[in-house]
């Protein structure tokens, strides 16, 4: 499947370049236990952006070329059984049923991503998107968390989940069920994200007005019982798509969250000692971002000036969402200034790319 305008040869060159840029003598350039100098603790991030790895191809995506997909966005990805498994939002140009759906594809390595066959999950013809994928070990099942509505089943918009026994079976996902029912008169929020510690499941989401909220339930009650009323976990100049992880080798948690300014999207970062604790800014300003054009070393050659909805590549698959701060990368949706600024949001042709860390000299 030709998702990348440059074709498979470009994907291979990008993949090889990323591997060479990330390793030296076979070891990650940030290898070792994260110390006080780790960018995840100091906020001194620098990145190198790949060329676009995935873009929609309306001639190949199901159900037919009559459904012109405009964008591939909101990626969530895990590595399992030697393959990447990617879930994302697919958005069509036209309004109507099925305008925003969740897509799935799998591939061995990034050089093959542009030839992988897409599947569109059969969840609901109403709105659903912004997926998160993880394996919930206590239930021995795969969970997909997302935002959805399903008028055919009386399900109002809110945080939903589906489960599946096999990650590589796109037809095996259950229909959406609510994590909890949003109280009447309250806004649901968006970009729902679950992470678990040893005792509880924590649900984070944003509200487009500078707030990140959190709810919790006991691990034994997950997924749809006992959720607390959401409380404000972070109030700052943030926008949407907060994604929270545990930093391997530390006792810290890390949140990457999208902000906007100057007609662009970029990432901020925060840390906390507990998932129910206070979040402290690490790279949380336009002058000191986690990811923005100012700290992407090859920005002059980049296809993206807006960096949006980023998923850190995890070390595992389970509900703890652990990432390695000594050697990680970000899968993100991107667009250039003309694409982002000069058309309605629903027509922005978001593509997916990778950001790799560049160690400080």
- pLDDT for residue 99: 81
Q: How far apart are CA 152 and CA 207, in angstroms?
A: 26
CB proximity list for 114: less than 8 A, separation 6 or greater:
1, 2, 3, 4, 7, 8, 11, 53, 54
- pLDDT for residue 22: 36
How far, in whole angstroms, is CA 117 from its chain's centroid? 20
> Kind of pairing, strands 240-247 and 322-323?
parallel
Quick one: which of 52, 63, 68 has its CA closest to 3? 52
pLDDT band at 339 (very low <50, low <70, confident <90, very high): very high
| Higher-confidence position of 8 and 228 | 228
Q: How far apart are CA 44 and CA 115, in angstroms?
A: 36
- pLDDT for residue 2: 35
* pLDDT tens, position by position, 49-79: 999 999 987 666 665 555 568 899 999 999 9
* pLDDT tens, position by position, 113-171: 988 999 999 999 899 999 999 999 999 999 999 999 999 999 999 999 999 999 999 99
* pLDDT tens, position by position, 282-331: 999 999 999 999 999 999 999 999 999 999 999 999 999 999 999 899 99
* Token representation of residue 355: 């950001």
* pTM tops 0.75: yes
Rounding to the nearest 10 degrees, give the CA dihedral for residues 106, 110, 112, 116. 30
| Higher-confidence position of 226 and 5 | 226
pLDDT band at 97 (very low <50, low <70, confident <90, very high): low
Domains of the chain: 7-357 (2.115.10.20)
Q: Decide: 252 and 205 in contact? Cβ < 8 Å.
A: no
- pLDDT for residue 23: 33
- pLDDT for residue 67: 52
């Amino acid at each position: 499947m030709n998702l990348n305008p440059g074709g498979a040869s470009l994907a291979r060159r990008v993949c090889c370049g990323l591997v060479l840029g990330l390793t030296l003598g076979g070891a990650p350039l940030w290898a070792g236990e994260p110390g006080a100098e780790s960018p995840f603790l100091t906020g001194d991030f620098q990145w190198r952006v790949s060329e676009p790895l995935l873009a929609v191809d309306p001639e190949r995506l199901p159900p037919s070329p009559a459904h012109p997909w405009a964008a591939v966005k909101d990626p969530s990805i895990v590595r399992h059984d030697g393959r990447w498994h990617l879930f994302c939002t697919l958005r069509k140009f036209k309004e109507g049923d099925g305008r925003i759906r969740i897509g799935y594809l799998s591939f061995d390595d990034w050089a093959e991503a542009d030839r992988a066959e897409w599947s569109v999950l059969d969840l609901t013809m109403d709105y659903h998107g912004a997926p998160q994928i993880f394996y919930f070990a206590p239930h021995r099942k795969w969970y997909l968390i997302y935002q959805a509505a399903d008028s055919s089943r009386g399900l109002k918009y809110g945080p939903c989940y589906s489960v599946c026994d096999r990650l590589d079976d796109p037809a095996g996902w259950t229909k959406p069920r609510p994590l909890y029912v949003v109280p009447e008169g309250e806004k649901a929020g968006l970009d729902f994200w679950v992470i678990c510690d040893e005792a509880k499941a924590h649900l984070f989401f944003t509200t487009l007005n500078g707030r990140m909220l959190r709810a919790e339930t006991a691990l034994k009650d997950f997924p749809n019982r006992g959720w607390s009323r959401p409380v404000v976990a972070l109030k700052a100049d943030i926008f949407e798509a907060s994604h929270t992880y545990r930093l391997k080798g530390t006792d810290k948690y890390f949140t990457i969250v999208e902000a906007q300014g100057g007609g662009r999207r970029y990432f901020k970062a925060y840390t906390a000692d507990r998932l129910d604790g206070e979040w402290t800014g690490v790279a949380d300003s336009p002058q000191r971002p986690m990811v923005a054009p100012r700290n992407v070393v090859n920005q002059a050659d980049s296809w993206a000036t807006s960096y949006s909805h980023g998923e850190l590549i995890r070390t595992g698959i389970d509900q703890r969402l652990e990432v390695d701060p000594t050697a990680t990368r970000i899968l993100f949706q991107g667009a250039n200034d003309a694409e982002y600024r000069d058309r309605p949001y629903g027509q922005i042709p978001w593509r997916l790319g990778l950001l790799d860390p560049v160690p400080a000299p």
